[in-house]
Amino acid sequence: DTAVSQTPKYLVTQMGNDKSIKCEQNLGHDTMYWYKQDSKKFLKIMFSYNNKELIINETVPNRFSPKSPDKAHLNLHINSLELGDSAVYFCASTSGVKLFFGSGTQLSVL
Amino acid sequence: AQKITQTQPGMFVQEKEAVTLDCTYDTSDQSYGLFWYKQPSSGEMIFLIYQGSYDEQNATEGRYSLNFQKARKSANLVISASQLGDSAMYFCAMSNTNAGKSTFGDGTTLTVKP
């Protein structure tokens, strides 16, 4: 049973396209996140939702739009993809202390 | 603002020996949490250990222990009896009010030699 699952695992697309990454957690956590890990392995938080409400929105281009239909899901939609968006995107959730991460989505923009 | 510093980009250790991965942090918060995560080559992020700033005892989880020295603002990870499967990238992280807005260090790549 996967606790935090995100799809797809790999995403290869052309510049200018729009794409979505889906995330679901079955842990009953109220809070979910999107993190970006760049080619140098630096991890940075992008967004955080608590019970479907946006609570953290770091300096991220507005081409990135998270959507949380319910507290178990947090999807990430990216418009007009750019080369610099190539990275690994991690979804995560928590009930307080420990972050549980998804397995990551490797996005490659060509 | 919070900052995590991991000064060792890469470390080597002989199998069955212990190794210490360094982490120093900077924060103006009185209450915070410190974490270590492991990222193997397969890419997933695995939680290893947590230390609260008010915890008096160092955290331990199996072969992992966190050497917490509050006055020095350090939270080093000690792995005892290294195994080949410990070869991975290790991230130190901290958060203030919740685990989500965590600040991560740049990571240390650990290689365990047979």
- Which structure tokens are listed for A22? 């889906």
* A chain contacts of residue B89, beta-carbon cutoff 8 Å: 41
Give residue B87's pLDDT: 98
Q: Give pLDDT tens digits along chain B (114 positions).
A: 789 999 999 999 999 999 999 999 999 888 899 999 999 999 999 999 999 999 989 999 999 999 999 999 999 999 999 999 999 999 999 987 655 578 899 999 999 999
Omega into B40 within 30° of 0, i.e. cis? no
Q: Do B47 and A43 touch (CB under 8 A)?
A: no
- Average per-residue pLDDT for chain A: 92
Give residue B1's pLDDT: 77
Residue B43 near residue A88, CB atoms below 8 Å: yes
Question: Which bin fits B77, alpha (ψ -120 to 50), beta or left (φ > 0)?
Answer: beta
Instruction: Write the pLDDT tens digit of every residue in A43-92.
Output: 999 999 988 888 888 878 999 999 999 999 999 999 999 999 999 999 99
* A chain contacts of residue B102, beta-carbon cutoff 8 Å: 45, 99
Residue B35 near residue B13, CB atoms below 8 Å: no
The alpha carbon of residue B80 is apart from the nearest alpha carbon of chain A, in Å, by 22
Query: CA-CA distance, A44 to B37, in Å (whole number)?
Result: 14
Give residue B14's pLDDT: 98
Q: Do A31 and B100 touch (CB under 8 A)?
A: yes
Q: Do A99 and B99 touch (CB under 8 A)?
A: yes
Residues 16-35 of A with CB under 8 A from B: 31, 33
Give residue B98's pLDDT: 56
DSSP A85: G
| Pick among B4, B102, B106, B108 to test the A interface (most A CBs inside 10 A) | B102
| Amino acid symbol at B6 | Q
Q: Does A103 touch chain B (CB under 8 A)?
A: yes
Give residue A99's pLDDT: 86
